């Protein structure tokens, strides 16, 4: 009975090259943002905000910045990796219909955020849970999402006039797509491979084979 | 056509008090972990691991630690807040069927993790996306999940014998429940309230009303 749910989870891709630029109806966008807003959060602080960016000037300025950061990363790669990287499209900022920038406000619910006293990052974690809800909801709506992370946070803070305390967590490109690829781009381009689930599952303790002092 | 998906998103709760302790079939657990493992990740690094903790001794030791951290937080509250907090159950570690500890390994895919050069935290963000997939999948399977964050990371690292570089990101209680509440615990207990979506949505820029220099 949960097949439709799992279909969404496994169909979801990180989209770069398949955006069509077709319109996103307002009611669809609101359903997607409502899903994000329904995420769990530490102390019920809901520390996220969603900046819907449609303005071509803002998206163009961000895209120029991303290209610069792409060059910065490319310069760290050696010959063969550099060649593989050159073939990889890293963003769909211009081709997608719109962007949603998801931010973190540490003052939301402060000072006594229940559950955040011992781990400061739990507020950021909550924002990411909202992002995944957004991503899956967009997939359920037959839209594509691409998370662009080739940027410097202060640039985005200035561009979108975020308050100094507010941290941009994700720049998401969103919109209709021609299709979703079955295999992630980075695997198709031989940049990296997915590992089997079994390698990621441990029982009770991390297990053997790790260089750790076991003398206790 | 996406109603089943949205039903899962909006039914999901952060569970403390409704765990029954009934068994979780292995195939169900594997579907839930497969959903987590299908999350997007920066540079396709998949930097997460899942430690399935069933051992009562380990869970008991963790629970003792959580109680201590609960007292630490309670001591920071003034009279009225302390009284409200005293009524809130903060974990279901003992009552739930099992725990899943989700961790972050910064060495996965390193050194050249595509998309992580400019924002170091993107690896942690990926782990949180996996956590939300896990949470929703468990909800689709009629299971409850509760994220416990009243702990110190070094304690969990020692308890589960994690390598020094690996960071515990979430301790999740998981298992069958009597029901899922319609209203979050913290709202029912008058600790905090959810805010309307409209307050979280901005267009193109953060907008007015914020104390920020607009002189440009």
Residue of A nearest to B208 (CA): A161
**CB-based contact A114 B186, cutoff 8 Å:** yes
For residue B212, pLDDT over 90 is answered with no
Distances (CA, A) of B141 to A40, A94, A128, A135, B174: 18, 39, 22, 20, 11
Residue of B nearest to A76 (CA): B112
Most confident of A23-27, B112-116, B211-215: A23-27
The beta-carbon neighbor of B149 closest among A112, A119, A149 is A119
Burial class (CB in 10 A: 0-12, 13-18, 19+), A55: middle
CA angle A99, A181, B110 (to 5 degrees): 75
What band does A213 get if pLDDT is binned at 50, 70 and 90?
A: very low
Mean pLDDT of the region A179-202: 93
On the CB side of A22, CA atoms within 13 Å amount to: 10
Is the minimum CB–CB distance between A65 and chain B shorter than 8 Å? no
What band does A190 get if pLDDT is binned at 50, 70 and 90?
A: confident
The beta-carbon neighbor of A51 closest among B40, B77, B206 is B206
Chain-centroid distance of CA B69 in Å reads 17
For residue B52, pLDDT over 50 is answered with yes
Mean pLDDT of the region A108-131: 89
Going across the sheet that includes A201-203, the strands are A201-203, B48-53, B98-104, B167-176, B143-148
Tokens of B7: 């039903």
pLDDT value of position B116: 84
Higher-confidence residue: B2 or A74? A74
Backbone angles phi, psi at A49, to 5 degrees: -135, 160
Q: Which residue in A4, A7, A9, A32 has the most chain B C-beta atoms within 10 A of its own C-beta, making it the best mutation to test that interface? A: A9
Is the minimum CB–CB distance between B161 and chain A shorter than 8 Å? yes
β-strands B201-203, A48-53 pairing? parallel
pLDDT value of position A54: 97
What band does A215 get if pLDDT is binned at 50, 70 and 90?
A: very low
Q: Tell me if A173 sits within 8 A of A145, measured CB to CB.
A: yes
Mean pLDDT of the region B122-128: 96
Mean pLDDT of the region A170-199: 94
pLDDT tens digit string along B160-202? 999 999 999 999 999 999 999 999 999 998 888 899 999 999 9
List Cβ<8 Å contacts ≥24 apart for A23-31.
Answer: A23/A97, A23/A176, A24/A97, A24/A98, A24/A143, A24/A174, A24/A175, A24/A176, A28/A141, A28/A143, A29/A98, A30/B197, A31/A137, A31/A141, A31/B6
For residue B208, pLDDT over 90 is answered with no
Please state, in angstroms and rounded to a whole number, the distance separating the CA atoms of residues B179 and B195.
24
pLDDT tens digit string along A63-92? 999 999 999 999 999 988 899 899 999 999
The pLDDT mean for chain A works out to 92
For residue A111, whether the previous peptide bond is cis, meaning omega lies within 30 degrees of 0, is yes
For residue B42, pLDDT over 70 is answered with yes
For residue A199, pLDDT over 90 is answered with yes
Contacts (Cβ under 8 Å, ≥6 apart) of B167: B103, B104, B106, B124, B153, B157
β-strands A201-203, B48-53 pairing? parallel
Is the minimum CB–CB distance between B75 and chain A shorter than 8 Å? no
pTM of the full predicted structure? 0.94
Is the minimum CB–CB distance between B25 and chain A shorter than 8 Å? no
Which residues are B101's β-sheet partners? Answer: B51, B171
In sign, the C-alpha dihedral spanning A24, A25, A28, A29 is positive
Distances (CA, A) of A47 to A40, A43, A110, B76, B196: 10, 10, 10, 21, 13
Q: Tell me if B172 sits within 8 A of B147, measured CB to CB.
A: yes
Q: Looking at CA atoms only, how far is residue B167 from chain A in angstroms? A: 12
Is the minimum CB–CB distance between A109 and chain B shorter than 8 Å? yes
Region of residue B190 (phi > 0: left; psi between -120 and 50: alpha; otherwise: beta): left
Please state, in angstroms and rounded to a whole number, the distance separating the CA atoms of residues A90 and A185.
10
**CB-based contact B200 A46, cutoff 8 Å:** yes
Please state, in angstroms and rounded to a whole number, the distance separating the CA atoms of residues B120 and B52.
27
Tokens of A65: 């910045």
Share of chain A above pLDDT 70, in %: 95
What band does B118 get if pLDDT is binned at 50, 70 and 90?
A: confident
């Amino acid at each position: 009975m949960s097949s439709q749910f799992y279909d969404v989870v496994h169909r979801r891709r990180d989209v770069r090259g398949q955006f069509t630029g077709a319109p996103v109806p307002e009611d669809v966008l609101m359903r997607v943002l409502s899903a994000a807003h329904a995420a769990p959060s530490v102390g019920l602080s809901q520390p996220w905000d969603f900046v819907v960016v449609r303005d071509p000037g803002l998206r163009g300025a961000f895209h120029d910045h991303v290209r610069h950061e792409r060059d910065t990363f490319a310069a760290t790669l050696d010959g063969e990796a550099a060649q593989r990287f050159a073939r990889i499209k890293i963003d769909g900022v211009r081709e997608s219909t719109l962007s949603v920038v998801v931010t973190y406000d540490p003052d939301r619910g402060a000072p006594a955020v229940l559950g955040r006293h011992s781990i400061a990052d739990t507020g950021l974690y909550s924002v990411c849970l909202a992002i995944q809800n957004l991503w899956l909801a967009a997939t359920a709506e037959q839209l594509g999402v691409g998370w662009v992370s080739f940027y410097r946070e202060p640039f985005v803070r200035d561009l979108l006039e975020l308050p100094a305390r507010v941290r941009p967590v994700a720049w998401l490109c969103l919109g209709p797509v021609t299709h979703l690829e079955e295999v992630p781009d980075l695997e198709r381009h031989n940049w990296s491979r997915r590992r089997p689930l079994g390698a990621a599952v441990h029982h009770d303790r991390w297990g053997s084979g790790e260089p750790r002092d076991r003398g206790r």
